[in-house]
Amino acid sequence: MRIAFLGTGAMGGALVRGVVESGFRPAADILAYDPDTSRLNALAEETGVCACGGILEAAREAGAVVLCVKPALAQQVTRECAPAMGPGKLLISIAAGVRIASLQSVLPEGTAIIRAMPNTPATIRRGATAICGGLGVTPEQMELAAGLFGAVGITVTVEERLMDAVTGLSGSGPAFIYTVIEALADGGVSQGLTRDVALRLAAQTCAGAAELVLGSGRHPAELRDQVTSPGGTTIAGIAELERGGLRSALISAVQAAARRAKELSEQ
């Protein structure tokens, strides 16, 4: 099955590169369209994918269409590719906050729709993506979507009602972690480290800790206890984090972001 990407900006371009470079699909099976022809042609030259001259052309040539546009443009672009959609065709949308029902309303009956929420680390193939399928989506189509986003990180499957929670956690989460990294680096600077050294140490510490959680399969609390000696430096620092309310602040941040995602999707 050929796959068409509508939009080759930061996320769309990253998906195209990931799909081709990972070997998930050969370049010959990938079509792309973007109104910015210089960006489109540069991507086609870099990856070997086929650059299309229009939305409808790309949609007609593909069995699956990946909608990589801003939420405000999602319905308009979906409507433009609608004549090429229908039974047997799949639309995968990464437009944040745009519900499946909204897209289905402008597509022919029988079009399968999968909604996805990737996050920005997907641009370096370290992303976290949640996917959910609409009515009539087949297991094979879900497997296709999981493989596509698996080319740029990890993929999980959820019900659509949980996509706002996903947005609050993994969608907004990178910004929360950047704040943590910055704060850790500030602490290092306060103790005499240069800004460059402190920032590198803080970022690598967060990256390494995350890799340990994912790679070991062990609970974060267990890994934390492993490096927390009785009466040592780490427990002294953790006590300060608890006094400062870091845990509850992060929980509240995810909840607030999820609430805002729900508000925006209902507008």
Helix (H) or strand (E) holding 31: strand 30-33
Low-confidence spans in the chain with pLDDT less than 70: none
The per-residue pLDDT for range 98-130, each reduced to its tens digit, is 999 999 999 999 999 999 999 999 999 999 999
pTM (2 decimals)? 0.93
- What is the pLDDT at residue 267? 79
Task: Please give the mean pLDDT across all residues of the chain.
Answer: 97
Q: Where are the domains of the chain?
A: 3-163, 171-265
Distances (CA, A) of 148 to 19, 129, 153, 242, 247: 6, 10, 10, 40, 34
Q: Do domains 3-163 and 171-265 have the same CATH topology?
A: no
Pick the CATH number of 171-265 from 1.10.287.180, 1.10.3730.10, 3.40.50.280, 3.40.50.10470: 1.10.3730.10
Q: Which backbone phi and psi does 9 adopt, to 5 degrees?
A: -70, -150
- What is the pLDDT at residue 26? 97
Best CA proximity match to 135, nearest among 165, 100, 95: 100
Q: DSSP assignment of 130-166, as one string?
A: EEEE-TT--HHHHHHHHHHHHTTEEEEE--GGGHHHH
CATH architecture assigned to 3-163 = 3-Layer(aba) Sandwich (3.40)
